[in-house]
Structure 1
Amino acid sequence: MSLKLRIAAQFSRDAKLAYGISLMEAGEDPARGFSVLSSLASQGVTEAQFRVGRAYLDGMGVPPSLEEGARWTQMAAESGHVQAQFVLATLYTIGLPEGFEAQKKVSIAANAQPRPRVPDFRQGGVWARKAATAGYPDAQALLGYILTNGPEDLADQQEAFDWYEKAAQGGSSQGHLGLGMAYLYRAQDDETRQRATEELKKATRGGLSTAFYLLGVIFEQGVGQPRDPSAAAHYYRQAAEKGMPAAQTKYGLALLEGRGVTRDMQRAETWLRRAALNGETQAAALLGDIYARGGELPPNYIEAAKWYRLAADQGHGPAARALGLLYLTGAGVHRDPNEAARWFRVSAERGDRTADSDLGNLALSGTGSEEEKRALKARFERAAQDGDLVGAFNLGVCLAEGVGTVRDERTAAVWMKRAADGVVNAQYWLGRMMVEGRGFETNIAEGCAWLEKAAAAGMTDAQMLLAQMLVTGRAVGGKDHARAMAMYQTAAERGQVDAMFALGAMYGGGHDVPEDRVEAQVWFRRAAERGNGLAQLMLGRYLVRGLAGVRDEDEGRRWLQRASAQNIDEAKAELAKLGGHEPAARVG
C-alpha cells in the first residue's frame, strides 16, 4: 500500500474507494478494507455497495451473510452496476432464503437455523437480461440457462440459443457450455453433434466440470464420432478431480472395469468412495459389490452392508436386494429373514424382478402376518394372470406351501410348469416337486433334468439338491460323490453356506473322495463364520481335538459355545466333556 494512496484516501472519495479495494484484494487487512468500503456504501457509492455485497457473500473481512450480501448487491444492481446485476441474477436463480426482502436489513441470531433457499427464475431472468443487454458475456450465458431451464411460460429455446451464441462470442466459458448443450439437444446429424463437441472443448478452457463430464459421455457413447474409452476416461477424470460426484462414479467404474484406463481396484475404490459420500447412489452400490465380492481386495461384508444400505436408502433397487441377501445369510449383519424380506420388497417395488423371486422364496419362511401373505399372494396372482412368468412362479410357491391361501399342489404344479421356461427358480421348484411327488406322479428322471437345468444356470439350491441326491444315490445313475463334491464346491464358492458345510463334511472323510481334513476345516470355518450351527460344532471339534493338525482348545470351546447357543445338542455334549473354563495350551 503506497503512502501516497493512504494520504489521498483522507481527502478523495475515489481514492478512499481504491484504498478499501486494495486492502481487500491484497488480503493485507480485509477487516479494515471492509470498514472503509462499508462507509462509502452507506453514502451511496455504487462500486462500494457491490464490493460490500461480495464481502458478505465471500465472508471476506466480515462474517458471511447471504441475505446481507444479496441486499447490498441489489442496491448496486439498481444503480446500474452490471456485474452486480449478474451476481444478483445468479443469487435469485440458485435461490435466496425464503422471505428475503432486499430493502430489509437482516439480523440473524448466532444459533438460528438457516431458512430454505427458494429459486426464483423470474427475478433471476430480470436481472440477467439487464446485464446481458449491457453486453456482459457471463450474464448472457446465465440468461440462456434461465430461458432453457425456467418455468414453461418463461422458456424460449431459440432465444436461449441466441444468447449462448453471444456469450460464446464474448469469450464466456459458460456460453460455450450452453451452446454445446444446445447443439446436443437439437442435433439431428453427426455434423451438429461434432459442433457440440467443439463447443464443449472450448468450455473446458474455463475449467467447467460439466463440460468435461459431457465430453466423457460423448466419447463413451460415441455421440457424433466413434467410441473412445480412453478419451472418455480422460474427461471423466478431469471432471472427477474438480469434485463432480457423477464423474467420480464414472471414473471409478472405468478403473474398476479397466475401460480406457489401466484397471486399478484400489484407485477405483477411492473414487467411488468420494462419489458415494457426495450422494452418488450408484457409487455406493458399486462399493457394496466391491466389498461383497472381494477379489483383489479381501471380502468385507460389514463394509458391503454399509454401502448397500446407503444406496438402498436412496432407492437403488439392486442394492436393496443385495442388502436383503446379506440379512438372509447373516453376512456382515445379524441374520434376520424379516429384515431380508423388507429389503426384497423395497427392491421389488423398484422393478427388480429377481427380488420378486426372492420374496416368493421368503414367503416359505413364514415371514409377515397372514394379511400380508394374502396380499402378497394376490399380487402374484394378478401378475401371473397378466402373463408374467415371475408372478406365475411366485403364485406356484404360494399354492405349493399354502402361503396366503389353501395349499393346492396340483394347481401349483400347473403355474410352476408355465414359469419354468423362463424362470430359473421355477425350474428348481418344478424339479424338486417332481422328485418329491408333489403335484405330480414321482418322476426322478424328469425332475433331475429340470434340476440340472437350474443348476447349470447357477441356481445354488438346485446344485445343493442334486448333490444330496448324488450322495445318497437317489439321482439318475446312482451315487456319484465326486460329482456331488464338485456341485457343493460350485455352490459354496457362490456363497451358499450349507454347501460350505457339506463340502467340509465331504473332505472330512467317509465318502468316495480323498480325505483332506485341513481343507475340511477351512470350509467348516467359512460356514461357521456365517452362522451355520453344525459347522460351528465341527470347527469346534476339529480345533479341540486337533483333527486338522493344529489343536486350539480355547478357540474350539468358543465355537462349541456358539453352536450350543443355537441348540445343537452335540455341541452341549462336547462342552460337558471338556469341563472347566481355562484355555488349553496351543500345541503343534
Structure 2
Amino acid sequence: LFRSNGQGVPQDYQKAVEWYTKAAEQGRAKSQHNLGNCYKNGQGVAQDYGEAARWFSRALQSAGDDKEVKAKAQNNLDFCRKKGYSGYSEQELKLFREAEQGDAQAQYELGLCYNLGHGVPQDEAKAKEWYAKAVVGYTEAAAQGHADAQYHLGLCYENGKGVAQDYQKAVEWYTKAAEQGHAWAQYHLGDCYYNGQGVARDYAKAAEWYTKATKQGVDWAKKQLVKVATEQGHVIAQYHLGDCYYHGQGVSQDYGKAVEWYTKAAERGHTDAQYNLGLCYEKGHGVSQDSQKAVKWYTKAAEQGHANAQYNLGVCYEKDHGAPQDCKKAVKWYTKAAEQGHTDAQDKLGHCYTFGQGVPRDYQKAVEWYAKVAEQGRADAQYNLGLCYENGQGVAQDCDKAVEWYTKAAEQGNSDAKRRLIVIGAERGDAEAQYEYAWRYYCEHDYAKAVEWYTRSAEQGHTPAQYELGNCYYNGEGVAKDDAKAAEWCAKAAEKGYDRAQYNLGLHYKKGRGIPRDYAKAVLWLTKAVEQGHTDAQYELGCCYGAGLGVPRDYEKALEWCMKAAERDFDYRKLLKCAWCETYTSVGVERGLFGKKKIACKTCGKTFSPKKLGWTP
C-alpha cells in the first residue's frame, strides 16, 4: 500500500504488486482487491482484465463481513464482466461447461462451490439446483455399478445435498462403493458404523472399514482407527492398527508400534494378533528375538483353532525351536492345521507318514495328504505324489500316473520332477530324454554312464548325441580313445547339418584324425560350418587359405576369414598380431618385389612372414 501511494517510500507499482501478491496468496481480501486494481489499471503489471476479475472474485470470497471490500470488489468485478471477463479460471470454466453438459461429478462440485462460495459468490439456491442435477446423474451411474458415483450418491444422502437426508441410503451406497474398494467410501462407511448413523453402532465393523481405507492411504481413516483402538479400546481396531504398522500400509512401517498394538489385542484373546505377535518374537521384529515367547503366543492362537499358528507350532516342535523337540506333538499340530486345509501342514504330514516321523510309517496316509496338496497345485507335493506312483508306495505302481504328476511339478520348475521325467523317458527309449540323461551324467563326471546313454540316443539318430559321443571317443572320456569312432559319429551329425560337428569333421580331415588326411574335404566341411556362422570354423578356414591347404593360397581371403573370427572372439584377435609391435588385428596384405605377397602391419609398417600367423602348410 505504501509503495502504491508513495507513502514514506518512492512510489513503485512493481514493488506494490510484489507485496500485494504475497498477501493476496495468503487470503487477505484487501490485498486481493488491491492486486485486482493493479491488473485492471495496468499499474506495475501489464493491464489484464481477466487476471483482475480473478482477484476481485477471490476478494469477494475472502471478504467475510467486510462490507466495504465486498462492495468495491463486486463493483470492479461487474466492470470486468462488462468487458467480457468472468473472473473464472480455466479450470472453473471447464467445470461450468462439464456441468452444463450433464457431468454428474462436475454438477456436484459446482453445487459445492455455490454452497461454500468457492470461486463463485455463495448462493444456496444455485447450490441446491446443481446438487439435485448431480443426484440424477449419480443415481444413473451408481445403478450401473460405478463405484465413484455410488460413493458420491452416499455423500448426497448423508449430507442432504440434492435429496432429503437419509443415513440408511447413505450406508447402502457407501457399502456398494466400499465393497468395490473405493477408499473414501470405506472411510465414510466406517464413520457410519462408528457414529451409528444409518446402522446400529458397531465398532468392530467401523474398525474393519477404517483399516481398509487406511491401507489405501486415507489419513483420516487412520486417525479414526487410532481413536477406536484407544478411546474405545476395541480389540479388533487394536489388531488392525498393529497390522497397518507391521506392513506399513497407510502408515510408516514400525515393527515396534505393531508389537505394541498386537500385544494389546493378543492379551485380550484376539487369535490373529496372538499369531502375529508370535511371528514378531520368532523373527525379532519390533522385539528381541525370543523363540520361547513365539511358542507361547503360537500356542494361545493354536488352541483357539488358528491354522497358521498350529502349523508354526508344529514346526517349532519338529525343529526344537523354542520348545523341546517332540515329533509326536509336531504331528498333532500339523494334523489340526491340515484338517483346516493348510497346505504346508498337509505337505508336512505327507513327509511324516512317508518317513515315520512322529507316527508309524504309512504310505497310504502319505499319499492321501500329498494328493490333497498336489491337487491344489503345489509342485513339491506333485513331485512326491509322482514318486509314490513310480515306486508303488501307498498306491498301485503306475508309471503313467507318475509321469502325469511329475509333469505338473516340472511345469512349475521343480528340478527333481524334471530329472525323474528324463530318467523315465530315457528308460522308455525317448532319444531326447536319453541325451539329456547322458548330459547330466557327463556334468557329474560319470563319463561311462554318459557314454552309455549318448550311445542309446545316438543310435536312434539324435544329432547332438552323435556329436557328443564323437567327442567322448576323441577325448577318451568314459571309453577308450578312438579317433576313428570319433570321426564316424562326428560325420553322422555333420551330415545332418550340425555346425559343431561339421567344424570337428573339418579338423579330422585337416589333421588326419581317425580318417585319411584330406585338405579339400577339410575345407568343404569347414565351409559348411562357416555358412552357419561358426566362429572357430571361420578362423580354421582362414588358416587353410593362408597356408594353401585344400584351396589355392590366398592371403586376402585368409585375412578376411580370420578377421571375421577375431571380431567375435578375442582369443582369435590375439592370434592376429604384428610380429614386431604386437598390435592386434592391424595386419594387411602387401605386394612386394616380383609380385610376392607379404603380411604388413598397418601400425608400424613392417612386414613379416605369414608363418608368424600360423599359416603353415
TM-score, scaled relative to structure 1: 0.44
- Normalised to the residue count of structure 2, the TM-score between the two structures is 0.42
Whose RCO is larger (CA < 8 A, sep 6+)? Answer: 1
* Larger-Rg structure: 2
